[in-house]
């Protein structure tokens, strides 16, 4: 949904932050929570048993972290930071072997960055995932988005206490879980005050509410970029002007001047990253590269949050090397994924992962490739603005559906999986129209309801059963 499609802000605010918690809603939530927990996997194989043990340890860690959050937010932040530092160190020095070098590299970078921000966010900015990153990069201001933070929190089994806190504060059960985790972390004091908050009207109503609320809670400046639905030059100039204004706010918050040459260098890195990713996609369309949900989440981070950073560029180069070593594809079914991925769900991860998995693989996700446009370092603000207005998530739903269809064709996909994130009205709103469009074009599609960061809404068994049935359908068609 874009700014033009958002209904009356007062109505949305009233709907989303009402204190209503009447019987049926509470009952539904209780039932879902009772169903939540570790997905059931029959413990027959040693590897599965090993993973279950690991899950039990994570569950215990999550329970302990959760028990501390309200009373000792500082200690909780330190524990989460220590956990993410270990993840980062493990990915860098003791990789599991499940992922390629590029994935381990960005996994390590992201985990350590989150650890750093949990310990000391004073110079950082909390942003939504579509916010151009280059201005912050040029000012040495690390950025953090709800999707990245919540994806890590759920993998330490500690999301529930933050979601509960956000709901107790008035966020409804039906609100996007990524935003509830971030809000709950801020309200408990686990996520401390950053230097500023910055968001775009692209692509969702949750952005309109959460970031305004957080800026007020933390008492920090909030830069809000209004993105028109059209992708013409007037829209580019309008957004570029707002980005210049945001740069001035960021300068004040960082206590530093923005060096134009540094900004150009960041945009030049973005340009190379995007070119690298387009080359990766062309090669990816022809090879067997059986990675799973986390790698696609890393691609999303790379092409949004890390554009212009040295880490993002290094990742894109490593990714090109990794894909150039991949064997040619054979008979495996190829899936394009729409939107975020529930990378905490072991059963669905297992479906797509494993070097010897020649059954099915995820070849791309629409969120990772939503704005791979040419960037011009000599016109940094206009380039960033053009990326925003031409993002396939901007404008009418038909634009996103068309872009996903083109992606599926270019990747020679066999099917499209439309993931309806809990509380994401943007994806839920287009899901059926998207499925119909894809099927009319001859590409089977499946709509899957789930949650990228709340195990209570996960429905792990149902998701894996439906995904399995969909893959069988693709296999029968071949």
Chain residues in the site for ligand SF4 (CB under 6 A): 176, 178-179, 203-204, 206, 340, 421, 423-424, 426
Shortest Å distance, C-beta 71 to ligand SF4 = 29
Q: Please identify, using beta-carbon distances, which residue of 291 and 454 lies nearer to ligand SF4.
A: 454
Closer of 145 and 364 to ligand SF4 (Cβ) = 145
Q: Are 153 and 181 in contact (CB under 8 A)?
A: yes
CB–CB of 105/315 below 8 Å?
yes
Residue 434: CB minimum distance to ligand SF4, A: 14
- Of 265 and 424, nearer to ligand SF4 (C-beta) is 424
Instruction: Report how far residue 222's alpha carbon sits from residue 339's, in angstroms, rounded to the nearest whole number.
Output: 26
Residue keyed to tokens 């939503």: 370
CB of 86 to ligand SF4, least distance (A): 27
- Smallest distance from the beta carbon of 423 to ligand SF4, in angstroms? 6
362 DSSP β-pair partners: 335
Shortest CB 339 distance to ligand SF4, Å: 7
User: Residue 156, Cα to own-chain centre: how many angstroms?
Assistant: 17
Decide whether 102 or 199 has the Cβ nearer to ligand SF4. 199
Residue 295 CB, nearest approach to ligand SF4 (Å): 19
Closest Cα to residue 338, out of 295, 296, 371? 296
Q: How far is the CB of 20 from ligand SF4 (least distance, A)?
A: 20
CB closer to ligand SF4 out of 166 and 474: 166
Q: Which residues contact 67 (CB under 8 A, 6 or more apart)?
A: none
In 3-state terms, what secondary structure has residue 335?
strand
Distance CA 451, CA 457 (A): 6
Identify whether the C-beta of residue 357 lies closer than 8 Å to the C-beta of residue 332: yes
Q: For residues 435 and 205, what is the distance between their CA atoms, to the nearest angstrom?
A: 23
Residue closer to ligand SF4, measured from CB, 171 or 474:
171
Q: Choose between 381 and 419: whose C-beta lies nearer to ligand SF4.
A: 419
Nearest to 103 by CA among 298, 336, 293: 298
361 versus 454: smaller Cβ distance to ligand SF4: 454
CA torsion sign for 109, 110, 113, 119 is negative
Please tell me the distance from the alpha carbon of residue 2 to that of residue 389, in angstroms, as a whole number: 10
- Least Å distance, CB 427 to ligand SF4, is 6
116 vs 108: CA distance, rounded Å? 12
């Amino acid at each position: 949904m874009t700014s033009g499609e958002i209904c009356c802000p007062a109505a949305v605010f009233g709907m989303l932050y009402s204190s209503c918690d009447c019987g049926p809603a509470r009952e539904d939530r209780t039932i879902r929570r009772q169903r939540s927990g570790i997905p059931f996997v029959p413990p027959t194989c040693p590897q599965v048993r090993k993973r279950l043990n690991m899950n039990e340890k994570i569950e215990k860690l999550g329970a302990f972290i959760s028990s501390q959050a309200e009373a000792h937010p500082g200690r909780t932040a330190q524990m989460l930071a220590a956990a993410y530092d270990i993840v980062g160190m493990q990915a860098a020095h003791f990789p599991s072997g499940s992922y390629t070098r590029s994935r381990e590299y960005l996994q390590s970078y992201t985990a350590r960055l989150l650890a750093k921000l949990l310990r000391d966010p004073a110079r950082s900015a909390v942003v939504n995932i579509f916010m151009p990153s280059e201005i912050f990069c040029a000012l040495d201001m690390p950025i953090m988005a709800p999707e990245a933070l919540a994806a890590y929190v759920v993998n330490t089994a500690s999301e529930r206490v933050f979601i509960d806190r956000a709901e107790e504060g008035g966020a409804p059960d039906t609100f996007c879980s990524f935003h509830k985790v971030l809000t709950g972390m801020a309200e408990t004091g686990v996520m401390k005050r950053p230097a500023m908050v910055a968001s775009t009207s692209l692509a969702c109503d949750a952005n309109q509410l959460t970031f305004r609320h957080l800026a007020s809670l933390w008492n920090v400046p909030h830069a809000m970029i209004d993105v028109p639905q059209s992708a013409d030059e007037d829209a580019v100039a309008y957004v570029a002007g707002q980005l210049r204004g945001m740069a001035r706010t960021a300068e004040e918050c960082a206590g530093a001047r923005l060096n134009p040459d540094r900004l150009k260098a960041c945009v030049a890195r973005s340009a190379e990253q995007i070119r690298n990713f387009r080359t990766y996609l062309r090669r990816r369309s022809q090879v067997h590269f059986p990675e799973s949900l986390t790698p696609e989440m890393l691609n999303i981070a790379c092409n949004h949050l890390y554009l212009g950073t040295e880490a993002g560029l290094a990742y894109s180069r490593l990714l090109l090397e990794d894909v150039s070593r991949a064997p040619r594809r054979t008979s495996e079914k190829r899936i394009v994924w729409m939107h975020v991925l529930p990378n905490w769900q072991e059963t669905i991860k297992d479906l797509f992962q494993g070097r010897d998995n020649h059954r099915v693989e995820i070849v791309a996700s629409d969120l990772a490739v939503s704005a791979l446009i040419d960037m011009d370092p000599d016109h940094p603000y206009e380039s960033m603005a053009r990326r925003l207005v031409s993002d396939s998530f901007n404008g009418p739903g038909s634009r996103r559906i068309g872009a996903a269809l083109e992606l599926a064709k270019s990747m020679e996909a066999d099917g499209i999986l439309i993931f309806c994130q809990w509380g994401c009205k943007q994806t839920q709103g287009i899901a059926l129209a998207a499925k119909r469009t894809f099927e009319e074009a001859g590409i089977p599609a499946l709509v899957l309801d789930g949650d990228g960061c709340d195990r209570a809404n996960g429905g792990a068994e149902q998701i894996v059963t439906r995904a399995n049935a969909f893959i069988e359908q693709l296999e029968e068609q071949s």
